[in-house]
Amino acid sequence: MVLPRVRSDHYPVLVVLQEQDRTLQGMNRPFCFEAAWFGHDNFTSFIQENWKHGADLPHALEVMTAQLKRWNKDVFGNIFMRKERVLAGLGGVQQALAVKGNSYLNRLENQLLTEYHQILRQEEVHWYQKSRCQWITFGDRNTSYFHIKTIIRRQIKKKLEH
């Protein structure tokens, strides 16, 4: 699959060698605060609107947890699916621009590129948090490194459990 160009004049090519099984994802996972939520424009206002002042702390945390889960699903969404959607839109806009450019398509391309870079930052924070690397300087775009660290940590944990 040919992907849209993002930073250069070259079009990257994506080769998928194996289909992932997505049936078990999200089943019975405990709540985990996602640091990537801070990268969303509406997160701070969501917290300010939904935090129950004056309620006892355990109850307030329980309510906030349920609201954050719902907000994550309905508003924030899946980072990787949003990334695919934005890349598909970017590819369509760039194809249309190749045929005939106009100011609307140029603005749309810039908006999609801005959204794409925001998603990349959120993805980096996501993998940074999952890898639990405390000694890496944040901002290096080492997403694949964080992903590999996460996989290795899970494999070690799995061996220790058996």
- DSSP conformation letters of 14-35: ----S----SSTTTTPPP---G
In the chain, pLDDT over 90 holds for what percent of residues? 27
Helical spans, DSSP H, in the chain: 43-50, 57-71, 79-99, 103-131, 143-161
pLDDT of residue 135: 46
Q: Tokens for 136, please give them.
A: 């890496």
Mean pLDDT for all residues in the chain: 81
pLDDT at 139 over 60: no
* pLDDT at position 19: 64
pLDDT at residue 21 is higher than 70: no
SS3 at position 53: coil
DSSP structure class, residue 73: I
DSSP state of 87: H
CA nearest 117: which of 67, 83, 66?
83
CB of 64 closer than 8 Å to CB of 51: yes
More confident residue, 71 or 160: 71
* pTM > 0.85: yes or no: no
pLDDT the model gives residue 141 = 57
Q: What are phi and psi of 26, to 5 degrees?
A: 85, 0
Q: What percent of the chain has pLDDT over 70?
A: 84
Report DSSP state, residue 35.
Answer: G
For the ranges 52-56, 58-62, 74-78, the maximum mean pLDDT occurs at 74-78
Give the number of C-alpha atoms closer than 13 A to the C-alpha of residue 37, restricted to the C-beta side. 18
User: What is residue 117's predicted lDDT score, i.e. its pLDDT?
Assistant: 93
Does 34 score more than 80 pLDDT?
Answer: yes
